Amino acid sequence: MSGAIERPRRRSFAADEIARLLEGRLDASAGAEIPPAVDGVGDLASAGALDVAVVFDAVRGETARASDAGLLVAPAGVELGARAVVRVGNPRAALVVLLELFHPRERRAPGVEVGARVAPGARLGEGVFVAAGATVEDGASLGCGVEIHAGAVVGRGVEIGDESILHPNVVVHSGTRLGARVEIHAGSVIGRPGFGYLREDDGRQRRIPQVGRVEIEDDVEVGALCAIDRATLGVTRIRRGTKIDNLVQIAHNSDIGEDCCLAAQVGVSGSVEVGARSVLLGQVGVADHSRLAPETIVGAQSGVVGRVGPGEWIGYPAIPAPLARRAYGLLAKLPELFRELRRLRRAVDEPSSRDAG
C-alpha cells in the first residue's frame, strides 16, 4: 500500500468566524476594512491582505499598524488605528489556535509499504502506517493510527499506544511501552541498556545487565537524537504530557514527572526524580539520585546535586536563584574587595607591629 500523505483540505475563514474560534471579539473601528475571508496566518512583517497576524503587546503596536495583514489579533488596550482587530485575552494562546487551524497535522494514509519488514507475530491496529525500510519485530503491538516512518525499528514485544508517531530512524528497544499520542523525533533511541558497570579488583569494568524497561506515558513528545535508557531493574519512566527537546539524555531508573519540560542538551543521571511541571533549561546536568520537587525551574547550564526546589535554582551546584544572583553580582567586584581586605589587614597589623617595637 502507498502510505500517501493525507493533506487536510485548506479552508478560509471569515473574520467573525475567527473571532468565535478564538473566543474573542471582532473590533472594527470607523474606516476599518474587514476582509471577506482569511486563508492564512503570518507574522506582522510578512503577512498579506488575506492573512491574520497576532500582536502580542503594545510594544509591537507600531509594527502592527504598518502591517499589510488583513486581520489582526491583539489584546485589549493596544491601539491599532483603523484596522479590523479580534480582541482576545491571551494572544499567545490565540496564535496556537490559529496555527492549528491553518496548518493541521498531516497524517499518512494507512498501510504497510513495500520494503517494510513486519514480523508475522506483530500486531497492528486499524489505520497503522509502516514505511519502507522500517522494522517491526515479533511480538510488537501497534495501536490504532500509529505511524512508523522510514528506518525506524520497533523491537520485540514493544507496545505502542494509539496515534503515536515514530519519525525516521527512531529505535525503540524490546520491552519498551509507549502510551497514546507519543511522538518521538528522528534518530532518538528508547530503551537502550543503561550505562552501568562494576569495576573489578583488577581495574577492569564488567557490565551490569540492564534488565528493566522504559515506560513513556500518554502525550509525551521526545525531540531528535535523544536517548532514554532502560532501567537496571524496574522502570525508567517519563510521565504524561512531558516535552523533551533535542539532544537530551535520561539515564536508567529515572522518573520524570507529568508536564515537565526538558530543553536541549539536558543530561539526567541515573535514579533521578523530577517532580511534576518542572522545567530544566538548556545544558542542565542532574547528578545521580538527585530529587527535584514539583514546579522546580533550573536555569541554563546549572548543575543539580541532591535535593532542590521548588522555585527557581541556578548555578553549580544549583542554589536558589535570588541568592545566586546576589553571589554572581559580587564576582566582578572580588578583585576590588580583595584589595580592600588586604588594605584593612595591613591597617590592623601595622599598629601591632609598632606596639611590639
- In this predicted structure, the answer to whether residue 354 has a pLDDT above a threshold of 90 is no
**What three-state secondary structure class fits 309?**
coil
The pLDDT > 90 percentage for the chain reads 79
Is residue 259 within 8 Å of residue 279, measured between CB atoms? no
Q: What does DSSP say about strands 319-320 and 177-178: parallel, antiparallel, or unpaired?
A: unpaired
pTM above 0.85, yes or no: yes
Can you say whether the dihedral through the CA atoms of 43, 53, 55, 89 is positive or negative?
A: negative
The mean predicted confidence, pLDDT, of the chain is 93
- What is the C-alpha to C-alpha distance for residues 339 and 292, in angstroms, rounded to an integer? 40
Is residue 301 within 8 Å of residue 283, measured between CB atoms? yes
Residue 212 dihedral angles phi and psi, to the nearest 5°: -85, -155
E strand or H helix that includes residue 344: helix 334-356
Q: Using pLDDT thresholds of 50, 70 and 90, give the confidence band for residue 349.
A: confident
- In this predicted structure, the answer to whether residue 133 has a pLDDT above a threshold of 60 is yes
Domains annotated on the chain, with CATH: 5-102 (3.40.1390.10), 109-322 (2.160.10.10)
- In this predicted structure, the answer to whether residue 356 has a pLDDT above a threshold of 60 is no
The pLDDT > 70 percentage for the chain reads 94
* Annotated catalytic residue 185: no
Which listed residue (149, 185, 252, 289) is catalytic?
252
- What is the C-alpha to C-alpha distance for residues 242 and 158, in angstroms, rounded to an integer? 20
Q: What is the pLDDT of residue 1?
A: 47
Q: What is the pLDDT of residue 350?
A: 74
Q: How many CB atoms lie within 10 A of CB 218?
A: 16
| DSSP letter, residue 203 | S
Q: What is the mean pLDDT of residues 136-150?
A: 98
Q: What is the pLDDT of residue 106?
A: 85
Grid cell of 259 as nine digits = 508536564
Which one, of 128, 124, 139, 129, lies nearest residue 176 by Cα?
139
| DSSP letter, residue 331 | H
- What is the C-alpha to C-alpha distance for residues 180 and 105, in angstroms, rounded to an integer? 16
